[in-house]
Amino acid sequence: MKLAVVMDPVESINYKKDSTLAMLLEAQQRSYQIFYMLPTDLYLQGTEARARVHSLQVKADPKHWFELSAQQDIALSELNVILMRKDPPFDMNYIYATYLLEAAEQAGVLVVNRASSLRDANEKLFALQFPQCTPECLVASSADTLKRFIREYNDVILKPLDGMGGQSIFRVKYDDPNVNVIIETLTEHGQRLIMAQRYLPEIVKGDKRILLIDGEAVPYALARIPGEGETRANLAVGGTAQGQALSDKDLWICQQLAPRLKEMGLIFVGIDVIGDYLTEVNVTSPTCIRELDSQFNLNISAMLMDKIEEKIKA
């Protein structure tokens, strides 16, 4: 099995928490040949997708977790599977990379997740395709439209459509003296669409990250609980993590999404659930494998690799 990973610089990852590293350690355990590349290493020569790659060895060693060979040039068609694990920002360079990965798919390579679906499934907007699962939401750039929504629900979360890790997320009320400047800043004076979402007080019990592999839910969630005085629960901004079994409502939400995820080739997905509501569908580089593995003695990467092998053999 030849597996390649497109990711951020391997030397910059957080050894203890990085989900991509967990996947690569499992792949190496299975004697896969592993290749490493940055998005800028991809290129298209005529109709052939190619890349400058390094052979990669990974180690369960927090001080020395990788070794790279000399760079070589290969056709992506030589590979069995490519993991697209580049973190946002989801900018034009990311989109261009998906076009090159789509050319690899046309040559018979399995890309996880499917390149076209990475483009189509915006992590905030995609959740709105499942209105039976989501709280009241609005996507707009007009200050007047946004303020009408804030007036109706009074307590609202405002967030950009392309953020991650809790960046630029604001909780506002209609009488907040800063509401105008927050809207101006997020929308760039009405030139940029943002999302408004009814505030869910259940956030104090945690923003649950649930992982799905080809539509099947891992049976435990990682509830990210906000720190004192903080609205955001993201671990990147100081939230604490607490594992818990999925509730009946969590499982119901997963069942609502599963057929669409499978249809779109979204093999590894992380959804965010607050209380009984779906708030986001993360498809670019979902995390929390290491934390769930540690708390519940799981091997989520093995579950993922089993599914990848099944699809390649099919």
Q: What percent of the chain has pLDDT over 90?
A: 91
The CATH number of 136-199 is which of 1.10.8.60, 3.30.1490.20, 3.40.190.10, 3.90.320.10? 3.30.1490.20
Residues 269 and 283 sit within 8 Å (Cβ to Cβ)? yes
178 by Cβ neighbours in 10 Å (0-12 / 13-18 / 19+) ranks as: exposed
Residues annotated catalytic, as ranges:
124, 159, 209, 224, 232, 272, 280, 282
The CATH number of 2-116 is which of 3.40.50.20, 3.30.360.10, 3.30.930.10, 3.10.20.90? 3.40.50.20
- Which pLDDT band, with edges at 50, 70 and 90, does 239 fall under? confident
What's residue 234's pLDDT? 67
Rg (CA), the chain: 20
What's residue 237's pLDDT? 63
pLDDT surpassing 80 at residue 253: yes
Q: 275-300 in b/e burial notation, b at 16+ Cβ within 10 A?
A: bebbbbbbbbbbbbbbbbbeeeebeb
What's the pLDDT tens digit per position in 18-37?
999 999 999 999 999 999 99
Output the six-digit token pair for 85.
């694990």
What's residue 162's pLDDT? 85
What's the pLDDT tens digit per position in 70-84?
999 999 999 999 999
Which CATH superfamily hosts domain 202-308? Answer: ATP-grasp fold, B domain (3.30.470.20)
Q: What global pTM score does this model have?
A: 0.94
Domain definitions of the chain by residue range: 2-116, 136-199, 202-308
